Amino acid sequence: MISQKLNVSNPKLWSIEEPNLYKLVSEIKADGKIIDIVETEFGIRTIRWDKDKGFFLNGKHVVIKGMCNHQDHAGVGSALPDRLQYYRIERLKEMGVNAYRTSHNPPTIELLEACDRLGVIVMDENRLMGSTPEFTDQFEHLILRDRNHPSVFVWSIGNEEWKIQNNDVGKRIAQSLIRIQKKLDPTRLATYAANNGNQYEGINSVLLIRGFNYMNISNIDKYRKEHPGQILFGSEEASTLCTRGIYENDSTKGYVDDYDHNKPGWGALAEPWWKFFAAREWLAGAFVWTGFDYRGEPTPYKWPCINSHFGVMDVCGFPKNNFYYYQAWWTNKDVLHIYPHWNWKGKENQPINVWVQSNCETVELFLNGKSLGKKTMEKNSHLEWNVIYEPGLLEAKGIKNGKIISAKVETTNEAAIIKLTPDRSSINADGEDVSIVTVTALDLRGREVPVADNLIKFEITGNGKIIGVGNGDPSSHEADKYLDGNYRRSLFNGKCQIIVQSNKEKGIITLRATSDNLKSDELVIQTSDITLRPAVMSYNANK
Task: Give the catalytic positions in this structure.
Answer: 160, 236
Cα gap 302→401, rounded to integer Å: 46
- What percent of the residues of the chain are helix, what percent strand, and what percent coil, each to the nearest 5? 15, 35, 45
Do residues 456 and 496 lie in contact, with contact meaning Cβ atoms separated by under 8 Å? yes
State CA 115 to chain mean position distance. 12
Cα–Cα distances (Å) from 271 to 97, 382, 420, in that order, read 16, 8, 34
User: Residue 43: which of 66, 22, 27, 17 has the closest Cα?
Assistant: 22
Cα–Cα distances (Å) from 489 to 307, 388, 458, 501, in that order, read 17, 35, 8, 18
Q: If 0-12 CB within 10 Å is exposed, 13-18 middle and 19+ buried, where does residue 30 land?
A: exposed
Cα gap 182→286, rounded to integer Å: 24
Cα gap 187→481, rounded to integer Å: 44
Bridge partners, residue 123, by sequence: 101, 154
Cα gap 268→283, rounded to integer Å: 17
Hey, CA dihedral for 255, 259, 265, 270, is it positive or negative?
positive
Q: Which residues of 378-414 are buried (b: 16+ CB within 10 A; e: fewer)?
A: eebbbbebebebbeeebbbbbebeeeebebebebbee
Do residues 321 and 354 lie in contact, with contact meaning Cβ atoms separated by under 8 Å? no
User: Residue 241: which of 253, 259, 220 has the closest Cα?
Assistant: 259
